[in-house]
Amino acid sequence: TKIMMGEMVFLKSFSSEIEAEIVKGMLEDNGIACVLRNSNMSSILGNIGAMNVDLLVNQEDLSEAQKLVDNHS
């Protein structure tokens, strides 16, 4: 995934979209652009209950974002 700011890289996966949105908001409040990507292939396989949401950040923000997520947990 690429957006204008640079290459987006994987930061963390969540089993809850709500939790992912909370962390996304915290990162954005700290000036870190991020996107959520639904990595759910399970609905195709018939298991709708198992959904993962990946959080992606700009490559250059990865270190700072990781520190913020670690402190938030």
Residues 5-25: tens digit of each pLDDT: 578 999 999 988 899 999 999
Q: Which pTM was predicted?
A: 0.77
Number of C-beta neighbours around residue 29 at 10 A: 9
pLDDT digits (tens, 9 = 90+) for 25-48: 999 999 999 999 986 555 555 555
> How is residue 48 written in tokens?
């709708």
DSSP state of 15: S
